[in-house]
């Protein structure tokens, strides 16, 4: 049985990813937000903890203890992220700092100790979540802080892939369009939800990336846009 870490595991996407990967036989260590957990969560995870991943020291301590207790941990699926609207005119330093913290630092603070762990065990996979506004400025110009925060995630993946070459360490970036979640439906009640990407379909894509065939991917950016 393969052991993996999923961060943001009780979020809208995380809940589906936990379900799918549990069904596929993975042993799951999870970080969760402070909110309540779905009923079947404890049964699907080996270890579920509330960790503030914007806190570098807390995250480092958590990952070091986790990898000591689970030396076979072979993948980190890093789903934590935030979102904010705002043009350049609306976006001040605090807004940029917040989105960098939520979207980039929450990944980077896990990646740093995990790189050392993966080198020790002879390889491992990171799965990161980008967003289209970081790739498409016409989309990003109304989500400036968010697009800047997410653009760093793509660069982090490139740095991991460069440093991990020859060590069987890879990073894959998934890029959802609009995920079909209750908050998005509430925010955009008149949209055609069938064009959005289902969290369960992203979860299946993650399952593929973690499979034997998926493990051969390097430098991959997977756009899971559906029709949105
Ligand atoms: N939703 C979309 O349409 C969309 C589109 C493109 C990309 N994405 C990206 O996809 C990923 C998942 O999105 P989602 O819609 O599932 O988001 P979500 O429902 O807001 O889930 C985010 C998760 O991260 C946790 N979290 C937030 N701050 C944290 C912190 N400082 N430390 C530890 N955990 C923290 C949250 O816990 P609490 O809720 O308890 O705070 C929650 O479990 C994100 O990276 C997002 O940017 C989403």
From ligand 1's centre to the CA of 10, what distance in Å? Answer: 9
Model pTM score: 0.98
From ligand 1's centre to the CA of 166, what distance in Å? Answer: 32
Per-residue pLDDT in tens (0 to 9) along the chain, 228 residues: 899 999 999 999 999 999 999 999 999 999 998 777 777 888 999 999 999 999 999 999 999 999 999 999 999 999 999 999 999 999 999 999 999 999 999 999 999 999 999 999 999 999 999 999 999 999 999 999 999 999 999 999 999 999 999 999 999 999 999 999 999 999 999 999 999 999 999 999 999 999 999 999 999 999 999 999
| Pocket of ligand 1 contains residue 184 by CB under 6 Å | yes
Residue range(s) defining the domain that contains residue 33: 3-224
From ligand 1's centre to the CA of 35, what distance in Å? Answer: 12
Residue 125 · residue 215 · CB < 8 Å = yes
| Residue with CA nearest ligand 1 atom 21 | 11
Residue 3 · residue 68 · CB < 8 Å = no
| Pocket of ligand 1 contains residue 99 by CB under 6 Å | no
| Pocket of ligand 1 contains residue 86 by CB under 6 Å | no
Rounded Cα distance between 222 and 85, Å, is 24
Q: What are phi and psi of 199, to 5 degrees?
A: -60, -35
Neighbours of 136 (CB within 10 A): 12
The CATH number that applies at residue 174 is 3.40.50.720
CA-based nearest residue to 210, from 74, 11, 14, 28: 74
Rounded Cα distance between 172 and 8, Å, is 17
| Pocket of ligand 1 contains residue 81 by CB under 6 Å | yes
* Count of structural domains within the chain: 1
| Pocket of ligand 1 contains residue 182 by CB under 6 Å | no
Residue whose tokens read 């309540």: 36
């Amino acid at each position: 049985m393969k052991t993996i870490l999923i961060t943001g595991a009780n979020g809208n996407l995380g809940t589906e990813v936990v379900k799918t990967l549990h069904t596929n036989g993975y042993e799951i260590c999870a970080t969760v937000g402070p909110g309540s957990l779905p009923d079947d969560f404890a049964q699907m995870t080996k270890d579920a903890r509330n960790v503030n991943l914007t806190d570098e020291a807390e995250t480092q301590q958590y990952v070091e203890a986790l990898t000591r207790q689970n030396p076979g941990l072979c993948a980190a699926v890093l789903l934590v992220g935030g979102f904010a609207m705002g043009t350049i005119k609306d976006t001040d330093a605090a807004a940029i700092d917040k989105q960098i913290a939520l979207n980039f630092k929450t990944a980077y603070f896990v990646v740093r100790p995990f790189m050392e762990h993966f080198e020790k065990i002879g390889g491992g996979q990171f799965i990161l979540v980008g967003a289209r506004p970081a790739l498409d400025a016409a989309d990003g110009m109304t989500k400036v802080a968010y697009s800047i925060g997410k653009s760093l995630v793509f660069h982090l993946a490139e740095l991991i892939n460069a440093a991990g070459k020859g060590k069987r360490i890879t990073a894959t970036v998934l890029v959802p369009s609009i995920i079909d979640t209750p908050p998005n439906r509430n925010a955009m009640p008149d949209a055609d939800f069938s064009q959005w990407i289902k969290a369960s379909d992203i979860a299946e894509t993650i399952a593929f990336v973690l499979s034997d065939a998926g493990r051969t991917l390097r430098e991959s950016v997977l756009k899971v846009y559906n029709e949105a």
